Chains A and B, each alone.
Chain A
Amino acid sequence: MTAVITGIGVCAPNGLGTEEFWKRTLDGTNAIGPIARFDASSYPVRLAGEISGFDPAAHLPGRLLPQTDRMTQFALTATDWAMEDAGAGAGTEGFDPFDRGVVTASSAGGFEFGQRELEALWSRGPEHVSVYQSFAWFYAVNTGQISIRRNMRGPTGVIVTEQAGGLDVLGQARRHVRRGTGMVVSGGMESPLSPWAVAAQIPSGRLSRRTDPDRAYQPFDERASGHVIGEGGAILIVEDADKARERGAAQVYGEIAGYCATFDPPQATGRGPRLEAAVSGALADAGIRADEVDVVFADAAGVPDLDRAEATALAAVFGPRGVPVTAPKTMTGRLSSGGAPLDVAAALLSIRDGIIPPTVNVTREAFRHELDLVREPRQGAVSTALIVARGYGGFNAALVVRSVA
């Protein structure tokens, strides 16, 4: 059985909707800017990739607004767009609900909602805490709300492996399809930009403290200083290829051809990271050689040691400068579990349009002998793409998507 992706829904700092995101990504428009959601002047981190101009009431029923965090509002809206894109309509009938599942990635959960209710608890008392706090903050809430809204009652789940989770869910969606589920809504959405959420991310030590939006997140650059956080992500519709054809799917963006996840051993063991094993594992799973890959969407941590580990791993698998490597997330910041699905969306659009989007803000390449870093949009046929993601805590994942003949 072949798992294919038939629909894309995007909520990203550089675009609401797939085409707006893709146009600005190819333009190289940097969406990183000063945090506007709250007064961050006392924070050591001042920048983020924020989504502006999103009005949840314009996209969702009023009944859902009091019970949803911003990340869930993004997820439900992007699901609607992805389903529409897949030609699967807006309805909740006319299909077997148990033939459709939902698997999303999460990392922060509904942080802003939770912060608001904690404020109510401590400033006004327990009777002022919303009953919806019982689930609105929870990691699995996007999966649950999508499942309810779209009447999808097949296999569901959530994977919490930080940035890597955005690929792990697609591996899981493929498993469900192989076991017979017709359609799985997948991907990830985040919005960890409330005062508490930002504070919770600073101790990782991986966030850039620079204030120039063009100089804060420079992966693979000699001056790399960490990364910038952001909100948003992508929702992807994964289907069994035969059932998608029978249903009359609007298009097939590509096939989930290979996937592999690995976990880094503790540093004290001295055994080194397992990123290379994830990349070669994904190629082996797809049954392809390294020279059959047309582009790599890098994890691009922006932390010098992590950049070196990734450059070394990619050079080991593909040979020095052996494959074009890009990191369009330099325009959005790293979106936790939403980042990798957005990279997968960009990879599928690269296949569709025959163009590789650029990495921005890198001017002094630190790994020019290892990486062929794409810094301007690059035209040319793309039929196979590899996406790499590393999650804080030792998670590695790699995914291969391929055009379908």
Chain B
Amino acid sequence: MSEFSIDDLKRILRKAAGEDETTSLDGDILDLSFQDLGYDSLARMEAVSLTEREYGISLSEEEMDAITTPGEFMAFVNGRISAAA
């Protein structure tokens, strides 16, 4: 299974919930909060759902609730992918 990169996450965020003119995904967003990037809880849920389908993994709501930044999201998904490999 391939690694889950920041570009994968950006692609999924755009597909899940679009992109705002005011909060671009360009640049270094690893440590910004999803909230500051303009992605509310529903947008994160949709992004999680897309990630689960695409990478064949399962992420619980409790686990995702603890994740607040793209960097944490990537690390968590990559951990799950390597555990499943």
Interface residue ranges, A against B (CB under 8 Å): 61-67, 127-128, 130-132, 134
Provide the bound-state CA to CA distance between A61 and B20, in Å.
Answer: 6
Shortest CB-to-CB span from B8 to chain A, Å, is: 18
| Chain A residue with Cβ nearest B18 | A62
6 A-B contacts (beta carbon < 8 Å): A64-B18, A67-B42, A127-B53, A128-B53, A130-B46, A131-B49
Residues from chain A with a CB closer than 8 A to the CB of B49 are 127, 131
Contact digits for B1-39, partner A, Cβ 8 Å, 1 yes 0 no = 000000000000001111111000000000000000010
Of the candidates A63, A127, A130, the one whose C-beta lies within 8 Å of that of B20 is A63
Inter-chain CA distance A127–B56, complex, in Å, is: 11
B17, B19, B21: most-surrounded residue (chain A CB, <10 A) = B17
Q: How far is the CB of A122 from chain B (nearest CB, A)?
A: 16
B67 CB within 8 Å of chain A: no
Are B18 and A63 within 8 A (Cβ)? yes
Flag if A63 contacts B38 (CB, 8 Å): yes
Query: Which 6 A-B residue pairs are closest in the complex by CB-CB distance?
Result: A62-B18, A131-B46, A63-B18, A63-B20, A131-B45, A62-B19
| Chain B residues at the A interface, C-beta cutoff of 8 Å | 15-21, 38, 42, 45-46, 49, 52-53
Q: How many interface contacts (CB-CB < 8 Å) are there between A and B? A: 34
Given A127-B52, A127-B53, A128-B53, are A61 and B46 neighbors across the interface (CB < 8 Å)?
Answer: no
A276 to B45, CA, bound (A): 51
Q: Which residues of B contact A134 (CB under 8 A)?
A: 42
Chain B residues near A62 (CB-CB < 8 A)? 18-21
A residues within 8 A CB of B42? 67, 131-132, 134
- What is the minimal beta-carbon distance from B24 to any residue of chain A, in angstroms? 10
Among residues of A, the one whose C-beta sits closest to the C-beta of B52 is A127
Given contacts A67-B18, A132-B46, A134-B42, 7 further A-B contacts (CB under 8 A): A61-B20, A62-B18, A62-B21, A66-B15, A130-B46, A131-B46, A132-B42
Residues of B within 8 A of A127 (CB): 49, 52-53
Chain A at the B interface: mostly helix, strand, loop or mixed? helix
What distance in Å separates the Cβ of A259 from its nearest Cβ neighbour in chain B? Answer: 37
- In Å, the complex CA distance between A132 and B46 comes to 8
- Closest B residue, CB atoms, query A130: B46
Q: A65–B46 contact, CB under 8 A?
A: no
Query: CB-nearest residue of chain A relative to B20?
Result: A63
Distance, CA A130 to CA B15, complexed state (A): 11
Beta-carbon contact of B17 and A63 below 8 Å: yes
Q: State A62–B17 Cα separation when bound (angstroms).
A: 8
A131: B residues at CB distance < 8 A = 42, 45-46, 49
Q: Closest CB-CB distance, B58 to chain A, in whole Å?
A: 10
B55: min CB distance to chain A, Å: 12
Q: Report A-chain residues with C-beta under 8 Å of the C-beta of B20.
A: 61-63
Name the residue of chain B whose CB is nearest to the CB of A129: B49
Q: Given contacts A131-B42, A131-B45, are A67 and B21 in contact (CB under 8 A)?
A: no
Nearest opposing residue in chain B for A128, CB measure: B53
Query: Which chain A residues lie closer than 8 Å to B15 at the CB level?
Result: 66
Bound form: Cα–Cα A66–B17 in Å: 6
Collect the chain B residues with CB atoms within 8 Å of residue A65's CB.
18
* A6–B42 alpha-carbon span in the complex (Å): 35
Residue of A nearest to B16 (CB): A66
| B22: min CB distance to chain A, Å | 8
| Set of chain A residues within 8 Å of B21, measured between Cβ atoms | 61-62
> What's the Cα separation between A62 and B21 when bound, in Å?
8
Determine the distance from Cα of A113 to Cα of B49 in the docked complex, in whole angstroms. Answer: 18
Question: Closest residue of chain B to A125, judged by CB?
Answer: B53
| Alpha-carbon distance A67/B18, docked complex (angstroms) | 9
With CB as the reference atom, state the residue of chain B lying closest to A57: B18
Q: A157 to chain B: closest CB distance in Å? A: 22
Quick one: given A130-B46, A131-B45, A131-B46, are A61 and B18 in contact (CB under 8 Å)? yes
Q: Which residue of B lies closest to A62 (CB)?
A: B18
Is the beta-carbon distance between A66 and B18 smaller than 8 angstroms?
yes
In Å, the complex CA distance between A29 and B13 comes to 43
Give chain A nearest CB distance to B36 CB in angstroms.
14
Query: How many whole Å from B57's CB to the nearest CB in chain A?
Result: 12
Separation of A291 and B10 alpha carbons in the complex (Å): 65
| Residue of B with least CB distance to A135 | B42
Interface centre among A63, A65, A66, A127 (most CB of B within 10 A): A63
The complex places the Cα of A236 from the Cα of B38 at a distance, in Å, of: 29
Report the Cα distance A62→B15, complex, angstroms.
Answer: 10
Across the two chains, which residue of chain A brings its CB closest to B44?
A131
Return chain B residues, CB-CB under 8 Å to A67. Answer: 17-18, 42
Once bound together, how far apart are the Cα atoms of A66 and B20, in whole Å?
A: 12
